[in-house]
């Protein structure tokens, strides 16, 4: 069966107007992003540090990557700290962060003052994203942190969310084996920053021989509230579509009479 052209246009117009009403507008404008990593290792008074950072600003978002490793030795004793991270922005509205092999390797039995850490001594967060909300909505971050080996001292990452109406303290994923979802509220026109902050650390007065590491996976998405008032162009499209549908129905009734 062939559908008359005027009826087909009516159906398409109504479908397009409904879709335009249901689909949320672009939800965020990117401002800046950063990814940082640090590794410190100390054994018998010998300290080695490694820092790596990458960032973008001005809304020209790009994927970031860091990689750090520090090994301190004193004779046969050794302490190593390591980690790598990657941050991707699929768009200004969604992306992911992956922390791999964050941890340490100790072979410092009998050594005093052995320490291995991934602290924030260089300032800033492990990862951060600053954006402006184009409409009322929310940012959702799904996270999964898993630990392996000797996880004593591995603390996962804290999720920090700041800005107007952010509403809530830090969410602390201190357990190196945990998962869940963080949700922050957005107010149109306001600027927000969401960040991940880690501070794992091991300090052993008598040293020891052990290894531990963790993996952190974070996926985030920004969405506007649905069911808002349509834009003027959307109203015009809806009225036009329903008008065509009405005209088609009247033609059918006239033909039947």
Q: Which position has the higher pLDDT, 243 or 159?
A: 159
Q: Kindly state whether residues 109 and 143 are assigned to the same domain.
A: yes
Dist CA 51 CA 39 (whole Å): 6
Instruction: Note whether 143 and 236 are same-domain residues.
Output: no
Which of these, 18, 92, 52, 73, lies nearest to 207 by C-alpha position? 73
Higher pLDDT, 240 or 127: 127
Mean predicted confidence (pLDDT) in 186-200: 92
Pair 123, 12 in one domain: no
- Band of residue 106 on the pLDDT scale cut at 50, 70, 90: confident
At residue 236, φ and ψ (nearest 5 deg) are: -65, -40
Same domain as 203, residue 149: yes
Q: What is the pLDDT of residue 89?
A: 97
pLDDT band with cut points at 50, 70 and 90 for residue 90? very high
Verify that 83 and 114 share a domain, yes or no.
yes
Question: In a 3-state reduction of DSSP, which class is residue 86?
Answer: strand
How many other CB atoms are found less than 10 A from the CB of residue 198?
Answer: 28
Q: What's the pLDDT at 210?
A: 84
67, 186: one domain: yes
Query: What's the rounded mean pLDDT across residues 65-90?
Result: 92
Per-residue model confidence (pLDDT) at position 43: 86
- Check whether residue 85 and residue 9 sit in a common domain: no
Spacing of C-alpha 32 from chain mean position: 13
Q: What does the alpha-carbon distance between residue 244 and residue 41 come to, in Å, rounded to a whole number?
A: 73
pLDDT at residue 85 greater than cutoff 80 = yes
Check pLDDT > 50 for residue 9.
no
Let me know: does 84 contact 96? Beta carbons within 8 Å: no
From residue 186, alpha-carbon distances to 198, 225, 253 in Å are 25, 9, 50
Q: Which residue has the higher pLDDT, 194 or 111?
A: 194
Could you tell me the pTM of the whole model? 0.77
Region 51-80: mean pLDDT is 92
Establish how many alpha carbons lie within 13 A of residue 91's alpha carbon, considering only the half-sphere containing its beta carbon.
Answer: 9
For residues 152 and 174, membership in a common domain is answered with: yes
Is 83 in the same domain as 54? yes
3-state secondary structure of 162: strand
Q: Are residues 238 and 159 in the same domain?
A: no
**246: domain range?**
5-23+230-256
Look at the chain and report how many structural domains it folds into.
Answer: 2
User: Are 147 and 104 within one domain?
Assistant: yes
What is the Cβ-side half-sphere exposure of residue 212, based on CA atoms within 13 angstroms? 20
The 10s digit of each residue's pLDDT in 208-234 is 788 999 999 999 999 988 644 444 444
């Amino acid at each position: 069966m062939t559908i008359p052209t005027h009826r087909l246009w009516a159906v398409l117009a109504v479908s397009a107007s409904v879709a335009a009403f249901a689909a949320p507008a672009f939800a965020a404008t990117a401002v800046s992003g950063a990814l940082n990593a640090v590794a410190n290792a100390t054994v018998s008074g010998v300290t080695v540090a490694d820092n790596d950072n990458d960032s973008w600003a001005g809304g020209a978002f790009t994927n970031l990557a860091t990689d750090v490793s520090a090994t301190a030795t004193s004779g046969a004793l050794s302490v190593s700290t390591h980690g790598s991270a990657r941050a991707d922005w699929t768009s200004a509205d969604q992306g992911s962060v992956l922390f791999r092999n964050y941890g340490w390797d100790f072979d410092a039995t009998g050594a005093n003052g052995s320490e291995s850490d991934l602290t924030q001594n260089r300032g800033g967060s492990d990862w951060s994203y600053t954006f402006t909300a184009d409409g009322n909505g929310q940012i959702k971050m799904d996270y999964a942190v898993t630990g392996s080996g000797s996880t004593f001292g591995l603390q996962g990452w804290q999720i920090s969310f700041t800005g107007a109406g952010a509403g809530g303290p830090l969410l602390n994923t201190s357990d190196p084996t945990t998962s869940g979802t963080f949700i922050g509220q957005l107010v149109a026109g306001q600027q927000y920053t969401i960040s991940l902050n880690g501070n794992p650390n091991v300090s052993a007065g008598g040293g020891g021989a052990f290894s531990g590491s963790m993996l952190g996976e974070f996926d985030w998405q920004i969405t506007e509230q649905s069911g808002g008032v349509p834009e003027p162009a959307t109203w015009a499209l809806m009225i036009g579509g329903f008008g065509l549908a009405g005209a088609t129905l009247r033609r059918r009734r006239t033909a039947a009479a």
